[in-house]
Every structure is written in structure tokens, then in C-alpha cells.
């Protein structure tokens, strides 16, 4: 029920349509159940008038009246069905839209820790396939889910008005059909649960292949990727086949119960008519009983389809609710600070791991003080947790132990938007979005003037290649920036960060794809343009950090040493190894 309550909040402005749809369905069902009753009256009237002269005015008048009533009821039923379809479609489509919005909006508030919990393919599946399943189930619930029980109840009540015992056949058949459907559903549900988990793997395979298409083709791995996709798709197919085999029993079970019911009613009904000389049950009433038996059993079958769709969508609903209910691990404090005083940064006994279940700390006992306006270089081998360290500054993650300060305040005291607007991060994996170059740059400052945009591009050494494009700043960037080189992408991302005019600028190995000359020009530009901004540069090249005020050497999640280029070159083995390997000279001390 908690899942239903969670999803029901997404109805919002479509509550009216959700309520109106069952009302029209009720009118439609009432008309459909009343029509056989009138038909039985017509048949009985004709039976009773056999001995009357043909063309009797009274008989004709009765038939015309009944006929007009039947036409009117059929018209009302048709109109009600059309209106129910209209409002039901609007309600289900609106509900699906709101579900996607609620999930997407909540995902925007996720911390990196929350994002780590859900894989990207899983979130894509939840926003598409899972929502479609829930939408279809919702449509069936407000239409067929209302129609089937109402029709079954109306038909059953009217049937008992014809004869007190004959409709008991329904009460024998209904439990048999209900028990069979229950067994089918309970067997099928676990299989559908497995299917949706494997959908995530299928989406992951497709997404990974498309993203890495250049690498796949470079290494001629098309056949390997095709076989990997076939295996994943085959796993989904096998589970679907297992589930569908079980579901396939629904049709034969329904048909069996329907014909048994019709045979029983026809046999016992005919017997009652003959034995009572049509006093206990008339021919018209028997005809209507057969019609009502069809309605009751078809209602049961429709109801079983609703259950079936609910079974398929139950796992989807759970997965959607999981995303909607997920609370960000990083939230604003009750009385947040809305101003960043300066760009100073301080780590006090900080330790960090990516999840509570992780056995190993990514960072251990970090103590580091950075003054406003300083340029700090961070150097270390792959896996030394350089990126993990800087992600704690804008609260992309929270420290597991210890405290991180920015502007002499604990980062947890700041309003998140204020903190992140004051800290510009150019991450290791540079991302550009589909749109023009100008639109991408305005992510840094949507109100920036064209002069400010061009100035930022000059500092990032991006203007030179932008001006070579025919459309210049209106050049369209494909999704992921696939139509620009790695170095061009990095320079655009640096320009975008500069437009924020941050108190702290973090470059996480973000000049790795540019040549050393361009790297030097970018660093000189930052030094002159942002003298009061704290600059933290993570790099693999010593040349990128050797002129920094301080260089932090990271090793296995700890700070190995802090010093200037000259100090570290004399005393630190890690720095010496990196420096001499990149400059191709021997150790001067040997």
C-alpha cells in the first residue's frame, strides 16, 4: 500500500479525470446489464402472444416501445464508453507524465552517493519501460478494474431475480476460475521481477556499446559486442517465455469455465422450463441468463487481465516508487548560509568512503589548509583518490569522518546552490550537452554578455578554434560533444567554469588532452584573470603544477607530502619519479 500511496501523489491535476472515468463506466455497465433484461421481456411478450392474431396493434406497440428504449440505452452506453475512454486516456497519460517528472526532478536532487546507488541504464528503464507498464495498468484499473466487478455484481443480482437457484452455477464456477488465476499470477510474478532486472543489463549493454562505438570499431570488436547483446537479449527472452507460458493458461481456463457454465445453465434451465411449464422460468429469462453468464465470466476474465497487468507492473511500480522515495544524502541545513566569504579551504581529520558498506576508506586522515587566492597542485598515481578529495569541497559527497571548511565555515552550513555556485569544478569526464557552443557556455552564467563569453574563451584558449567554425558560437554541439575533439571539449568546459567567476576553481586533470603550450597559456591566463580565486589543479603532468604555491602528493588515499616544486624535488620519491620520467633525465644525486 505504501507504493500505491507514493504513486498516487503523482495524479495531482488528473484526479478529476480519474474519478470521472469510473462514473461513465458505471453508466455504461448499467445500460449493458439492463439491455438483456429488456430483451427477455420482448421474448416473453412474443411467447405469450402466440395465440393472438398476427399484426396485433398492442403487440406491435409493445415491441416498438421496447425497441426505442433499447436504442436509447445502447446510445447512452456507447456515449458513456466514449467519454470513459476519453477521460481514462487523459488520466493515464497525465499520470505517466507526472511519474516521469517526479522521478526526473528527484534525480536532479540526488547526491553522487544516490546516483551511485542506481545505475544509469536502470534509471533509463524506470523512466521509460517501467512507467509505460504502470500507465497501462492504471488505465486498466480505472476502466476494466471498475467495469468487471460492477458488471459481475449487476449481472449476478439480476440473474437471481429470474430464478433463486439456477444462478448458483456461477457461484460454483467463479471460485474455480478465481483459484486458477491466483495460481497463475503467483507463479508469473517472480519471473516478471527477474525480467525487469535483466532489462537494466540489456540497456546497459546498448548504452555502453553506443557510447564506446569508436573504441569498438578501432579494436574490431563488433562481433564480440553482438554476441554479448545476443546473450543479454536471450536471457530476457527466456524469462519472458517462461512467464508467458504460465500466463497462456488463462485463455483455456477461461474458455473451459465459460462453456461449462453455459452448458449447465442451458441444461438445468431447459429442465426447469419443461417441468414447470414455464411458470418457474420463462424462455426469455433463460436467454438472458445465458447472456448474463457470458457477462459474468467475461468480467472475471477481464478482471484476471487487470490482475495480470498489475502483476507485470507491480515490480515496475516498486522500482518507480524507489526512485521517487529516495532522499538525497546531502540536503540543506535548517538555516543555511547564503554567502561565501572567501575561497579558503580546510580539511580537518577527514576520512571518506563511498558507501557505508565499503570496507576500505578512499581517503584517510586528510589535513590540508588552502588560503584564498592560492594555486594548489595535486599529484598522485591512478587510484590515489585525488578526485575523491576535491569532490568533498562542493559537497558532491559528504566526508564520512572529520570536517571540510570553505570560507572559514563548515560546508554543511551553506545553502547547496550558494556553495556550488562559488565552486566551479571541471571534472575529469568533461560533458557537453546537445545545443550550440553559446548555449553550453551559458551553463556557467545564463546572463553572461557576449563579451564575457568571448573573454572566458580567450582565457581557456578556445576562441581560436571556435572562430574557425562557420557558425562560430552558434555551432551546434552533438550530444556528448562527439563533433569536437577531446582538447576542444576540455577548453570549452574550462571556459564554462570561468563564466561562473567562482571563489574556488577546480581543474580535475582537465587539460590532459591539450598540448603543453596550450596548457601553459591556460595556466597563465587563470593566474592573471583570477588572482583572488583559489585554484586547485589535479594533473598527471608535473609541468601543470610546478609553479603552484603548494603541491600535494597523494598516495593510496592519504597525503604523502606537501611542498613546493623545489622542496618536493629534493625530498619526495614519488615526485622525483614522476618528474624525472617526464623530463627524461637521470637523478642528479646519483
Domain-wise residue ranges, the chain: 7-325, 345-583
With beta carbons less than 8 A apart as the criterion, state whether 168 and 341 touch.
no
With beta carbons less than 8 A apart as the criterion, state whether 374 and 397 touch.
no
Taking CA atoms, 369 is separated from 9, 292, 347, 349, in Å, by: 47, 83, 6, 11
Which of 50-59, 105-114, 383-392, 477-486 bottoms out in mean pLDDT, i.e. has the lowest?
Answer: 50-59
pLDDT of 1 > 70? The answer is no
Q: What is the mean pLDDT of residues 331-341?
A: 87
Angle at 93 between CA 90 and CA 95, to 5 degrees: 100
The residue to which cell 468487471 is assigned: 148
Q: The whole model's pTM is what?
A: 0.71
Residue range 7-325, CATH number: 1.20.1560.10
The domain 345-583 having CATH identifier 3.40.50.620: the answer here is no
Q: Cell numbers at residue 303, please?
A: 478482471
Whole-number Å distance between alpha carbons of 438 and 347: 36
pLDDT of 590 > 50? The answer is no
The closest alpha carbon to 316, from 435, 195, 425, belongs to: 195
Whole-number Å distance between alpha carbons of 73 and 75: 5
pLDDT at position 587 is 46
pLDDT of 132 > 60? The answer is yes
Which of 186-190, 441-445, 490-494 bottoms out in mean pLDDT, i.e. has the lowest?
Answer: 186-190
Amino acid at each position: 500500500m505504501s507504493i500505491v500511496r507514493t504513486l498516487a501523489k503523482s495524479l495531482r491535476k488528473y484526479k478529476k479525470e480519474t474519478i470521472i472515468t469510473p462514473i461513465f463506466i458505471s453508466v455504461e455497465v448499467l445500460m449493458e446489464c439492463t439491455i438483456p433484461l429488456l430483451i427477455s421481456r420482448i421474448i416473453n411478450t412474443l411467447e405469450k402472444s402466440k395465440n393472438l392474431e398476427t399484426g396485433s396493434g398492442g403487440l406491435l406497440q409493445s415491441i416498438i416501445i421496447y425497441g426505442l428504449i433499447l436504442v436509447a440505452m445502447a446510445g447512452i452506453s456507447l456515449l458513456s464508453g466514449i467519454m470513459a475512454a476519453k477521460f481514462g486516456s487523459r488520466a493515464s497519460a497525465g499520470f505517466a507524465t507526472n511519474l516521469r517528472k517526479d522521478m526526473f526532478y528527484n534525480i536532479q536532487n540526488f547526491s553522487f552517493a544516490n546516483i551511485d546507488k542506481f545505475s544509469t541504464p536502470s534509471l533509463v528503464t524506470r523512466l521509460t519501460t517501467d512507467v509505460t507498464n504502470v500507465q497501462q495498468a492504471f488505465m486498466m484499473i480505472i476502466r476494466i478494474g471498475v467495469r468487471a466487478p460492477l458488471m459481475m455484481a449487476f449481472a449476478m443480482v439480476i440473474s437471481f431475480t429470474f430464478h433463486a437457484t439456477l444462478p448458483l452455477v456461477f457461484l460454483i464456477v467463479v471460485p474455480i476460475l478465481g483459484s486458477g488465476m491466483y495460481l497463475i499470477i503467483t507463479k508469473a510474478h517472480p519471473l516478471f521481477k527477474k525480467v525487469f532486472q535483466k532489462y537494466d543489463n540489456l540497456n546497459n549493454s546498448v548504452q555502453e556499446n553506443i557510447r564506446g562505438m569508436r573504441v569498438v570499431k578501432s579494436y574490431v570488436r563488433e562481433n564480440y559486442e553482438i554476441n554479448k547483446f545476443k546473450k543479454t537479449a536471450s536471457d530476457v527472452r527466456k524469462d519472458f517465455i517462461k512467464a508467458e507460458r504460465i500466463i497462456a493458461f488463462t485463455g483455456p481456463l477461461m474458455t473451459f469455465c465459460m462453456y461449462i457454465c453455459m452448458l449447465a445453465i442451458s441444461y438445468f434451465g431447459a429442465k426447469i422450463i419443461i417441468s414447470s411449464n414455464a411458470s418457474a422460468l420463462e424462455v426469455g429469462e433463460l436467454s438472458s441468463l445465458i447472456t448474463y453468464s457470458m457477462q459474468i465470466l467475461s468480467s472475471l476474465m477481464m478482471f484476471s487481465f487487470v490482475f495480470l497487468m498489475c502483476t507485470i507492473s507491480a515490480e515496475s511500480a516498486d522500482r518507480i516508487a524507489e526512485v521517487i522515495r529516495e532522499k538525497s544524502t546531502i540536503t540543506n541545513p535548517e538555516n543555511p548560509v547564503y554567502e561565501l566569504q572567501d575561497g579558503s579551504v580546510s580539511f580537518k581529520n577527514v576520512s571518506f568512503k563511498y558507501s557505508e558498506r565499503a570496507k576500505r576508506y578512499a581517503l584517510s586522515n586528510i589535513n590540508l589548509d588552502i588560503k584564498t587566492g592560492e594555486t594548489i597542485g595535486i599529484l598522485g598515481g591512478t587510484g590515489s583518490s585525488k578526485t575523491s578529495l576535491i569532490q568533498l569541497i562542493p559537497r558532491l559527497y559528504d566526508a564520512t569522518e572529520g570536517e571540510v571548511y570553505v570560507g572559514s565555515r563548515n560546508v554543511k552550513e551553506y545553502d547547496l546552490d550558494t556553495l556550488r555556485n562559488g565552486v566551479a569544478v571541471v571534472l575529469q569526464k568533461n560533458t557537453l550537452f546537445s545545443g550550440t557552443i553559446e548555449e553550453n557556455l551559458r551553463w556557467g552564467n545564463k546572463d553572461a554578455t557576449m563579451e564575457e563569453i568571448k573573454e572566458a574563451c580567450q582565457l581557456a584558449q578556445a576562441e581560436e578554434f571556435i572562430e574557425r567554425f562557420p557558425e562560430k558560437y552558434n555551432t551546434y554541439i552533438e550530444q556528448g560533444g562527439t563533433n569536437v575533439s577531446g582538447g576542444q571539449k576540455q577548453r570549452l568546459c574550462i571556459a564554462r567554469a570561468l563564466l561562473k567567476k567562482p571563489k574556488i576553481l577546480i581543474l580535475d586533470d582537465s587539460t590532459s588532452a591539450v598540448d603543453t603550450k596550450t596548457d601553459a597559456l591556460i595556466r597563465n591566463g587563470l593566474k592573471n584573470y583570477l588572482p583572488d580565486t583559489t585554484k586547485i589543479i589535479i594533473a598527471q603532468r608535473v609541468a601543470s603544477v610546478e609553479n603552484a604555491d603548494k603541491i600535494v602528493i597523494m598516495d593510496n588515499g592519504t597525503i604523502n607530502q606537501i611542498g613546493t616544486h623545489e622542496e618536493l624535488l629534493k625530498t619526495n620519491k614519488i615526485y622525483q619519479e614522476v618528474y624525472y620520467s617526464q623530463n627524461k633525465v637521470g637523478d642528479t644525486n646519483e
